[in-house]
Structure 1
Amino acid sequence: MAFEEFLDEVGGLGKFQILQIVLILPSLMIIVCQILLENFTVAVPHHRCWVHILDNATVSDNDTGLLSHDVLLRISIPLDSNLKPEKCHRFLHPQWQLLHLNGTFPNMTDLDTEPCVDGWVYDHSLFSSTIVTEWDFVCDHQSQKPVAQFIFMAGMLVGGFIYGHLSDRFGRKLILRCCLLQLAISGTCAAFAPTFLIYCSLRFWSGCSAVAIVTNNSMLIIEWTRSQSKAVILTLIACTFSMGQMMLGGLAFVFREWRTLQLVVSVPFFVFFLSSRWLVESARWLIITNKPDEGLKELKKVAHRNGMKNAEATLNMEGLRVIMQEELETAQMKTTVFDLFRTPNLRKRICLLFFVSHSMITATVQFSTIYFKYTEMQTVRVTLASVEIGCVAASNTSISVHFAELLPTLVRAKASGVDTMASRCGATLAPLLMTLAVYLPALPWIIYGVCPIIAGLLVLLQPETRHLPLPDTIQDVEDKKQFSRKVNEKDFFMKVTKF
């Protein structure tokens, strides 16, 4: 926590921090497009079976007389229960007798039908092509559709755990640059994938790198920002995510071919990889991991960019050892994921944060299910959607602020990776709760409603972190009460002296 004194010396929110934010926020905006990409690239357009007399280009008008398209469709494709053309079946032979029924609809079950053995015809008015139309993931093959998004989420699950550990060991900037290049290559190659298997493999690697990009970019911002400005900066990051969602909608409207859209949201990461060379590694992490010389070098660089000319005289090894003696002693020890649960205070914080992240998913499922339930009530659906988005956005922003302020620098990336695993497990389990309806129809809804309420109450057990420095070591977390008292006494002394 003593690192805050150095931030005061070099500038806690100056030109350097603004430049760092300008370099980072665009990549966070586009990464949201990558995460939500399957909402558009895996869209299912209207479709029907391919029919010879309708869709064969060699069939001339003389072959079918002067019959219109709608008439040919009526004798070729049966109607479903909503009197719409069937999506997965066609008549075995053209049913010419249907032309003489004058608007009446016979019992279709008495007519011979067959599956779409010759393929499908898709409506291209909304999307010129999607993964579904590319590989015909409809009817008997529609179960393949969710696989793409599942593979990407599985990649985020694995990447959060692996890259979280690597970020705490090798640095935020190095792992970030590797992941930017990995996402640029895998995302661009996915736009040219010849088979679905290759596409899924590339999306898995994109998911692995996407979660590390979000985590490391955020840490490179907050670990260089003073305590009083962290909440504002993290709120700005959350707003950037929302802007990314809006941007994806606009891009999907302009680029309606899935390969083009995939390429558009992937190529910019080559630019982000090149521009990331101007990012500055977290001096807080360098010092905590026993690299004080490199940490001082970065601090001097920041002081120069912020115009703090007098700060370089105080940035020396002797002053560092005096101010951060406890942190340098802790830096001699190596940490693992198990250190997150070794001490009581840190274990309590981690467990509470993980439960809140699971509970966020249940709240989303609850709102989403109610949204689809009221299909005929447009006003209710829009209102529920607005409430859902507002609540989730506000909760995510608050959680991100609290998460960063509760966990020490030494294991912050590891904790973020494990938290990602917890939230993905929640995303997997939440839909399965609907199976409990066989025992009691209201039971899933009770769980969906109670979990967020419990999570909201459990947050009250977490300590208040407003305007407190980021903890750097596990010992800082265990001594939180004592440190908070010292900070308050110091602030009171400074105010009285100024008065």
Structure 2
Amino acid sequence: MSGIGEILKTVGEFGPFQKWLVLLTLLPCLSVSFHQFCQLFMVPNVPHHCNTSWIRAIGPNLTEEEQLNLTLPRDANGAYEQCSMYSPVDWDLDSIMAYGLNATEKCSSGWVYPSAQPPSLLTEFDLVCDKKDLNDISQSIYMMGLFLGSIIFGPLSDRIGRRPVILFSIFLQGLFGVGIAFVPHFYVYMAFRCVVGASVSGITMTILALATEWIGVSSRPKAVLVSHCCFAIGQMILAGLSYGIRNWRLLEIAGSAPIFAFFFCIQVLPESARWLVTRGRIEEAKKLLKKAASINKRTIPAGLLEQLKPETQTKSGSILDLFRKKHLLKVTLIMSCAWFVNSLVYYGLSLNVTNFGLDIYLTQLAFGAVEIPARLGCIFLLQWFGRKKTQAVLLVLSGLVCLIIIGIPEDQPVATTVLATIGKFTASASFSTSYVYTAELFPTVARQTGVGLCSMSSRVAGILAPLIRLLGQYHPAIPMAIYGSAPVLGGLLCILLTETRGMELVDDTGDSHPKAEVHKNANSSSENGHMKGKDGGQDNEYTKTTYF
């Protein structure tokens, strides 16, 4: 080993320095929740009808009710049609009232909304009738931004460092997030949202890498758990913020502008010492390590620092290894499927919050609150039942809940919302399980590649989830049937995987499977963060989310 791992243990695995670092990441994590779900509150369901002010030219004294009776057809329930009107004619008012109008056409002069309705995306850009699908399409465009961000910012952080990518991503998010509040057209709005989505990926991925590289292996699950819980808290804050601010432009500013406060932390946000060592910037790494030790009230032996040298790079497994070798191919395909269906049901439920029948603000609050016990409970489930059973059962349960929702009558919104909340609970816990299980199934030399592939499949599901909602125009049950059946299938496939609880991580891409490890030794290994090679030689350090 190059010495950086030994020095980090001397510095302290989770001292005040690391705790401050985790604290610095909370604000960006809160902003992620806002951008993921804010559009749900910007496109409320409001009554609307075609603008038929043309008849005012020949009947200026008509009341509003008389105008609507003369110019708008009614549906089967007796309500005014929202997307069609009687075709304008050049008759006089007496003739229109005597004979009535018969020919209909689509709205040609815009729509009329309740005058007391606060400005929303729906009312400003007329996201109704033929343009109503743009709402779900724009959500997919945002998810596409997440996908592009994972492709762009991951390699970029390896090239130029964690700190610059975090700061650049935060700048992009703040700039384009606030900029969304001033867009003149909906297509510009979608473009800006795509950039914000890319910045969200840059923030989440790089902050996780920075924390992982500073925090000791035995304490890394704490950092991941804090970020996951913070995401859930952000959803709860969004419910309150959107309830108090109904103007969508002001809401966008209120949710995006606070991210600029992070720039006050520029001077204290550290670069990854481990990354600096891999790039040969030893002196910079030494300064940071001394600073961290000072904050943690530790002392690094001078001789230990002098031994610091660039890490020897182990030959990484290629992406082809994941498909060439039979056992890795099975893991890759099944876990990619698990991530895909998990993301599908998670976003399928989250983005459908407006259709469950209860108040959207209370439902969003419940959806955020339920994620906290789901993330916390996941830890104990993994300890008691193992990875495979937990992953399979949670996926199947989340799917079954969606399938049950299909059979709930529309006049039972409470039952539907309760079931949806249970589904969100199981989907959230399943997501946390996936992070742990995937990292343990892939060998060390191909772990980042494998997790990256699974994450990309999750992003693809995020893109498809809003589009699947469009199938509801053919039958209301189709979207929920897809959201439900997919995770059931994914959960059953997980039964074919190997259990990894209490198993030693595999380092190479050989045909060997994880071997059983004595828990006492495992816990000891968790404390020092290393496994001794078979020949007793160089230690192989690995990310230890295995033992909680």
TM-score (norm 1): 0.77
Once the two structures are superposed, what CA deviation does each residue of 1:79-131 show, in whole Å capped at 9, x if it has no partner? Answer: 2123222111223479999999xxxxxxx9x8333322221012365x51222
Confirm or deny that 1:195 pairs with 2:195: no
Match status 1:378 vs 2:368 = no
1:79-228 maps to which residues of 2 (within 5 A)? 79-92=74-87, 111-123=102-114, 128-228=118-218
1:287 aligns with 2:277: yes
Tell me how far apart the structure 2 counterparts of residues 335 and 448 of structure 1 sit (CA, whole Å).
30
- Cα displacement (A) at 1:216: 1.2
Q: CA deviation at 1:24?
A: 0.6
Cα drift, residue 71 of structure 1: 5.2
Cα RMSD after superposing both structures: 4.3
Alpha carbons of structure 1 residues 199 and 150: separation in structure 2 relative to 1, 3 Å: same
More helix by share: 1
Answering whether residue 500 of structure 2 is matched by residue 463 of structure 1, we say yes
Alignment match of 2:340 (pick from 343, 358, 366): 358
Deviates more, 1:478-487 or 1:157-166: 478-487
Deviation at 1:362, TM superposition (A): 4.5
Would the aligned equivalents of 1:42 and 1:132 in 2 still touch at CA under 8 Å?
yes
What is the percent sequence identity of the aligned residues?
27
Structure 1 distance, partners of 2:335, 2:204, is 18
CA distance change for structure 1 residues 144 and 351 in 2, over 3 Å: closer, same or farther? same
Question: Are the structure 2 counterparts of residues 453 and 15 from structure 1 closer, same or farther at C-alpha, using a change threshold of 3 Å?
Answer: same
CA distance in 1, matches of 2:523, 2:416: 52
Task: Indicate if the aligned counterparts of 1:163 and 1:175 stay in contact, CA closer than 8 A.
Answer: yes
| Letter aligned with residue 159 of structure 1 | G
What is residue 435 of structure 2 aligned with on the other side? 400
Does residue 35 of the first structure (1) align with residue 72 of the second (2)? Answer: no
Matching residue's letter, 2:14: L
TM norm structure 2: 0.71
Structure 2 unmatched ranges of 5 or more: 349-398, 529-548
Structure 1 gaps, min length 5: 101-107, 322-326
- Contact 2:139-2:463 within 8 A present in 1 as well: no
Please point out which of 230, 233, 248 is paired with 2:238: 248
Contact 2:445–2:508, Cα closer than 8 Å, also in 1: no
Give a deviation string over 1:447-467, Cα, whole Å, max 9, x none: 425323235425x5253479x
- 1:328 corresponds, among 299, 302, 311, to 311
Q: Distance in 1 between matches of 2:449 and 2:86?
A: 58
Distance 1:38 1:82, change over 3 A: same
SS at match of 2:131: helix
Kept in 1: contact 2:402–2:483 (CA 8 A): no
Please state if 1:77 is matched with 2:72: yes
Aligned to 2:490: 452
Matching residue's letter, 1:197: Y
Contact residue 9 and residue 311 of structure 1 kept, 8 A: yes
CA distance in 1, matches of 2:294, 2:444: 24
Are the counterparts in 1 of residues 147 and 456 from structure 2 also a CA contact under 8 Å?
Answer: yes
Equivalent-residue separation in structure 1 for 2:213 and 2:74 (angstroms): 62
- Three-state SS of the structure 2 residue aligned to 1:223 is helix
**Which whole-Å CA distance do the structure 2 matches of 1:477 and 1:4 have between them?**
26
Conserved 8 A contact 1:223-1:282 = yes
Quote how far apart the aligned CAs of 1:306 are: 0.7
Aligned partners of 1:120, 1:46: CA distance in 2, in Å? 10
Contact 1:292 1:317 in 2 (8 A): no
1:240 Cα deviation from its structure 2 partner: 0.7
For 1:261, what is the secondary structure of its paired residue? helix
Q: Which residue of 1 aligns with 2:223?
A: 233
Report the secondary structure of 1:90's partner residue. Answer: strand
CA contact (8 A) 2:440 2:500 kept: no
Aligned residues: 463
Structure 1 residues 446 and 118: alpha-carbon distance in aligned structure 2, compared to 1, 3 A threshold:
closer
The CA deviation string for residues 326-372 of structure 1, in whole angstroms up to 9 with x for no partner, is x82217x7997668768888777655542321121354455556546
C-alpha deviations, 1:247-302, integer Å up to 9, x for none? 11212112212221222222122222442442222223333454444333322221
1:297-334 CA distance string (max 9 Å, x none): 322221111111x225354132x45xxxxx82217x79
Partner-residue secondary structure (3-state), 1:302 = helix
Contact 1:165 1:413 in 2 (8 A): no
Separation in structure 2 between the aligned mates of residue 335 and residue 85 of structure 1, nearest angstrom: 63
Q: Does the 8 A contact of 1:77 with 1:90 survive in 2?
A: yes
Cα contact 1:47–1:121 (8 A) shared by 2: yes
User: C-alpha separation between the residues in 2 aligned to 1:37 and 1:224?
Assistant: 32
Encode CA deviations 1:352-405: one digit per residue, 9 max, x unaligned. Answer: 542321121354455556546522223421221121111012112223344566
* SS state at 1:278 partner: coil
CA distance in 2, matches of 1:335, 1:169: 19
1:491 aligned residue (511, 524, 531)? 524
Q: In structure 2, what is the Cα distance between the partners aligned to 1:27 and 1:191?
A: 19
In structure 1, C-alpha distance between the alignment counterparts of 2:16 and 2:511, rounded to whole Å:
34
